Structure 1
Amino acid sequence: MKLPPADSELGKLMATLPRPGRVEWIGLRPARGAAMVEAERALAQAGAGLAGDRYAGGSGKRGVTLVQAEHLPAIAALAGRDAVAPGLLRRNVVVSGLPLAALKGRRFRIGEALLEGTGDCDPCSRMEAALGPGGYNAMRGHGGLCARILEGGALRVGDAVVPLPIDGGA
């Protein structure tokens, strides 16, 4: 995603966030179809993914998947459920307090890791089984963000999610 020039009016608006976010939950997918494993900490591997996650050896554009904590109640309501456990959505990191859409095309830090938002994390057909009929559509627009890992390191529940200046400063 190409961002507008940092000195343009739109660039200034896109660069302004009210506060850092916070990691609320971390999960790893040990194998295809396997239940998510909740973790307090994960090791991000540059150019790959999270250690212990089935996508850890992939291309890197989807090294980490993130979902907005504030969207979980909306997904639950749209799916006709009282609540949705983060592991059902098969995303690695649940983030609160910061709009993930603002991180598309931007670099950000979580704990020791430097990440870059690569695009939307669209739902897959598995959401029908996880959430029930209509689960795929319940997640549309709420699937979260995919990110590549530029610098590895530990990330933990409670870590801040800190967007870097749009000019790419680390």
Structure 2
Amino acid sequence: MNSRRGRLEWIGLRPERKAPMVVVEQVLALADWGLKGDRRMVGSKGSGRQVTIISSEFIQSIADNLGRDTVSVALLRRNIVVSGLNLNALRHQYFQIGEAVFQATALCPPCWQMEAALGAGGMVAMCGFGGLCAKIVESGNIRCGDPVVHIPPGEYRERQLSLY
């Protein structure tokens, strides 16, 4: 039933607002909090924006929209880059990366800071390709190279009920 499958390609943490991204190969994803070491983890318990996710396919679309060959992942300020999935189809869905389970909560539209990061037209180039915001519903380690697996809603509820 897990027909939608991708791969975790990149992990970046934002230790402070406007600080450079810190690239890591693995991180602990803490349920209801966020990624250990990321600024969103502080004071964000229960937030639907604990983690931001973008796909390598969306990044290529952004580069194409800007007339470039590539765009630096760190400039986009997202925590996780995946490949092989249509992220927009995962909105409000559950998915597992490594040991952790996430729930996509909303689209992650670009903000005005993308104009400064990417240059004129940066925000418009990202429209429709900003990725997703997610919350962590089950803690665990995630590592670059881990599979990203969609969990159909019924399966996730059954899994939760079996724990009781």
TM-score by length of 1: 0.86
Q: Distance in 1 between matches of 2:60 and 2:83?
A: 12
Residue 56 (str. 1) matches residue 41 (str. 2): yes
Query: Which residue identity lines up with residue 56 of structure 2 in the other structure?
Result: A
> CA offsets per residue over residues 86-133 of structure 1, 9 Å max, x none?
111000000100111121111110011011010101111110111001
Unaligned stretches of 5+ in structure 2?
160-164
Q: Distance in 1 between matches of 2:3 and 2:155?
A: 19
Equivalent positions of 1:92-111 (< 5 A) are: 92-111=79-98
Aligned-pair CA distance for 1:18: 4.6
Q: For 2:116, which of 117, 129, 133 is the aligned residue?
A: 129
What secondary structure does 1:55 align onto? helix
Aligned-pair CA distance for 1:48: 1.0
2:15 paired residue number: 30
Q: For 1:118, which of 102, 105, 109 is the aligned residue?
A: 105
Q: Number of aligned pairs?
A: 155
2:150 paired residue number: 163
Unaligned stretches of 5+ in structure 1?
1-15
Aligned-pair CA distance for 1:82: 2.5
Q: Distance in 1 between matches of 2:6 and 2:79?
A: 15
The sequence identity of aligned pairs, in percent, is: 52
Aligned-pair CA distance for 1:79: 2.0
Q: Distance in 2 between matches of 1:71 and 1:46?
A: 26
Aligned-pair CA distance for 1:165: 1.8
Q: For 2:57, which of 46, 70, 74 is the aligned residue?
A: 70
Which aligned runs of 4 or more in structure 1 are off by greater than 3 angstroms? 16-19
Q: Distance in 2 between matches of 1:39 and 1:46?
A: 19
CA contact under 8 A between 1:116 and 1:148: conserved in structure 2? yes
Aligned-pair CA distance for 1:80: 3.0
Please tell me the root mean square deviation across aligned C-alpha atoms, in Å.
1.4
Query: Which residue identity lines up with residue 115 of structure 2 in the other structure?
Result: E
Q: Distance in 1 between matches of 2:84 and 2:145?
A: 12
Aligned-pair CA distance for 1:168: 4.3
1:83 paired residue number: 70
Q: Out of 159-168 and 126-135, give the one that drifted further.
A: 159-168
Q: For 2:5, which of 20, 23, 45 is the aligned residue?
A: 20
What secondary structure does 1:87 align onto? helix
